[in-house]
Amino acid sequence: MPTAHTPDGTAPQTMRAFAVDRPGPIDSHPLRPLDRPLPVPGEGQVRVRVLACGVCRTDLHLAEGDLDPKRPLTVPGHEIVGVVDRLGSQTKGKFSVGDRIGVAWLAHTCGTCRFCTEGRENLCLAPSFTGWDRDGGYAEYALADEDYAYALPEAFDDVTVAPLLCAGIIGYRALRRSELAPGGRLGIYGFGASAHLTAQIALAEGATVHVLTRAAEAQALALELGAASAGDAYGSPPEPLDAAILFAPVGDLVPVCLSALDRGGTLAIAGIHLSDIPTLNYERHLFEERTVRSVTANTRSDGEQFLALAAQIGIRVTTTPYALEQANEALRDLAHDRVNGAAVLVGGAFPG
């Protein structure tokens, strides 16, 4: 792996990256290692030397083709922790060279459509996303719009804070979309990177949390974090739920979740991809004002609120580190439920 700086202290001319070559089953290693020219920040952008990048299920969907790549050889990764090493033109002084910042999924919005002007930029009509429209953090360096990057709480180290930038933020939005009342009963279906963070927010706010997931290790982690119960994803919680969040990208679980809701309950589906949903029975699944809601991206306000709250409550992040060269292995382990908590690629670039 090339070093981050040449002997005279300047940045190298090329960097190591992993890109989606041909989408396909993750066991076929669809990520391809390559060397690329070092990116140059444009107007309003900063360049970051990547220290860590979380591995998200969205990256897996991109690698396997559930999400169509926007262009050839896209570099995934949208939970980027890095140090600013170069500023583009017309930056506003939000960050300086040497600052540690976070780069998340939402890379840019138009700022002018009706959704942006109404404070709903997550529904922007012309958005860009890190690791999909723009190259992401499975690399030694990455670019980010200054206005869409985050200052990071000092309480978290590089590896710990990386999953907060998507798993945490999206889980936080899903929790708010579920409209869980104070002290309510929340069901969490699937218990990976996002779910184990969301559960801690809900618990800190006084909820009773029931976790339903197939992996025994995940069930054990849920109980350790304070869940009232942990059982199989297709089982039933010990009491009716006021709200539920579906993190597993499995459409078959939608009627299962809805059946577990008390009257007036809400199911929030927290994923960019979901397999087909079976036919629902109106009386059993939807009647008595049960609601199904999707979760689409996030606003920058969501990110700022969540990061502040995570630092305030001292959220615990369970991580499994991988070297950048193990990107395919990390996604493969994620696909086969071999990751407890969140996978994180570390050491994207090392100081020379």
First to last CA, the chain: 11
Bridge partners of 291, per DSSP, are 266
Query: pLDDT by residue for the chain (352 residues), tens digit each?
Result: 334 455 555 666 999 999 998 999 999 999 999 999 999 999 999 999 999 999 999 999 999 999 998 889 999 999 999 999 999 999 999 999 999 999 999 999 999 999 999 999 999 999 999 999 999 999 999 999 999 999 999 999 999 999 999 999 999 999 999 999 999 999 999 999 999 999 999 999 999 999 999 999 999 999 999 999 999 999 999 999 999 999 999 999 999 999 999 999 999 999 889 999 999 999 999 999 999 999 999 999 999 999 999 999 999 999 999 999 999 999 999 999 899 889 999 975 433 3
Q: What pLDDT shows up at residue 9?
A: 58
Which H/E stretch holds residue 311?
Answer: helix 300-313
Report how far residue 221's alpha carbon sits from residue 162's, in angstroms, rounded to the nearest whole number: 19
Q: What pLDDT shows up at residue 330?
A: 97
Q: What pLDDT shows up at residue 10?
A: 63
Report how far residue 80's alpha carbon sits from residue 101's, in angstroms, rounded to the nearest whole number: 8
CATH class of the domain at 14-165+318-346: alpha beta
- Specify the fold of 169-294: Rossmann fold (3.40.50)
Cβ distance 175 to 182 under 8 Å? no
Residue 225 has what DSSP assignment?
A: H
Strands 149-151 and 185-189 come out as unpaired
Q: Which of 246, 170, 242 is nearest to 201 (CA)?
A: 170
Q: What pLDDT shows up at residue 239?
A: 98
Domain boundaries, the chain: 14-165+318-346, 169-294
Q: Which of 27, 37, 51 is nearest to 350 (CA)?
A: 51
Q: What pLDDT shows up at residue 130?
A: 98
Cβ distance 59 to 74 under 8 Å? no
Cβ distance 90 to 45 under 8 Å? no
Q: Which of 278, 280, 274 is nearest to 261 (CA)?
A: 280
